[in-house]
Amino acid sequence: MKTIIVPIDFSEHSEYALRTAANLARRNDAEVLALHMLEMSDIMLSASDGLQNEKAMYFLQLAEQKFEEFLKRDYLKDVKVKPIIKHFKVFSEVNDVAMKNHADLIVMGSHGATGLKEFFVGSNTERVVRSSDIPVLVVKNSLTDINFDVVAFACDFSEEAIESYLKATSLFKKMKSKVYLVYVNLPNERFKSSIEIEKSVVNFFTKAERNLDKMEDVHYVSDYTIEDGVLNFANKIGADIIAVPTHGKKGLAHFFEGSVGEDIANHASLPVITFKM
């Protein structure tokens, strides 16, 4: 992990993300790209009128000054930080910046002070997750100690989840984390027998790993919702982080139909990291 991007909007939650990124950067000798999305109208940015140009320059300089002050944090003193200001609030640009700088991770703080669905659904975080080709780490609190030793990876063991699984295991291997995979079995029409689940798991690891060594790290749990199953399992194993696969712009994986993925992000006190399928 060499480059970490943190979108900054000067909120308390973006500071949570910045502190987390700084700790990760320190542990991995990585650089932090602090990205501020400056919201200015097309008219102001493209106008030839002198007054409009002066206004645009004024707001740009104001943002730069505020950004410079925001980055004067004690926890950043021994971390390499590169500030970047973009003139449009287009959240797909975060992914563009990530690709251009060969970033390994995007860290975002949640803005849902109430913990309700607006934290994720329709939020800036969701927009970044859906457009990002690299993992996105969502933090809700100030993490004084970044320790991702134990990971709970929610998986449906479909073939389309293999790519996100490989991305996750590659990242967590570098962090020397222990990854436990969890399948949540639901009642009624979505119920699967143990044999059916095991067949899916065998097929999954045969194609993903070319062996079945990782089957010892798979856990099947039964619950009324996937969200409850994942959160209860993470709590049971003492997980430090929850990993969730996503479909990018198509939304969350079909394993997380409806708002399950959002609910996990909303209600988990733990950090949540997403990997594009």
Per-residue pLDDT, 111: 58
75, part of any domain: yes
Q: What CATH number is attached to the domain comprising 158?
A: 3.40.50.620
Whether 257 and 196 map to the same domain: the answer is yes
From the number of C-beta atoms within 10 Å of its C-beta (0-12, 13-18, 19+), residue 48 rates as: exposed
Q: How confident is the model at residue 23 (pLDDT cuts 50, 70, 90)?
A: very high
Total number of domains constituting the chain:
2
Q: In this model, does residue 43 exceed pLDDT 90?
A: no
Whether 250 maps to a domain, the answer reads yes
Confidence of residue 49 (pLDDT cuts 50, 70, 90): low
Residues 74 and 188 in one domain: no
Are 161 and 265 members of one domain? yes
Residues 41 and 86 in one domain: yes
What's the pLDDT band for 261 if we cut at 50, 70, 90?
low
Residues 174 and 269 in one domain: yes
Looking at every residue in the chain, the average pLDDT score rounds to 83
For residue 170, tell me if it sits in a domain: yes
Domain boundary among 111, 139, 167: 139
Nearest alpha-carbon partner for 131 in 30, 32, 7: 7
- More confident position, 223 or 110: 223
Confidence (pTM): 0.84
Q: How far apart are CA 22 and CA 136, in angstroms?
A: 15
Same domain, 105 and 213: no
Average pLDDT over residues 119-131: 64
199, 131: one domain: no
The residue from 118, 139, 160 where one domain ends is: 139
Same domain, residue pair 134 and 186: no
| Per-residue model confidence (pLDDT) at position 153 | 96
pLDDT of res. 186 = 92
Q: Are residues 131 and 201 in the same domain?
A: no
Residues 179 and 231 in one domain: yes
Sort strands 136-139 and 150-154 into parallel, antiparallel or unpaired.
Answer: unpaired
Asked if residue 125 belongs to a domain, the reply is yes
Could you list the residue range(s) of the whole structural domain that residue 103 is in? 3-139
Domain assignment of residue 248, yes or no: yes
Q: How far apart are CA 77 and CA 41, in angstroms?
A: 35
DSSP 225: S
| Domain contains 102 | yes
- Between 126 and 205, the more confident residue is 205
**Mean pLDDT across 142-160:** 88
Q: Are residues 186 and 241 in the same domain?
A: yes
**pLDDT at residue 6 tops 80:** yes
What integer is the mean pLDDT of 70-86?
89
In whole angstroms, what is the distance from residue 255 CA to residue 237 CA? Answer: 22
Query: How sure is the predictor about 50, in pLDDT bands with cuts at 50, 70 and 90?
Result: low
Both 185 and 93 in a single domain?
no
Last residue of a domain, which of 117, 139, 161?
Answer: 139
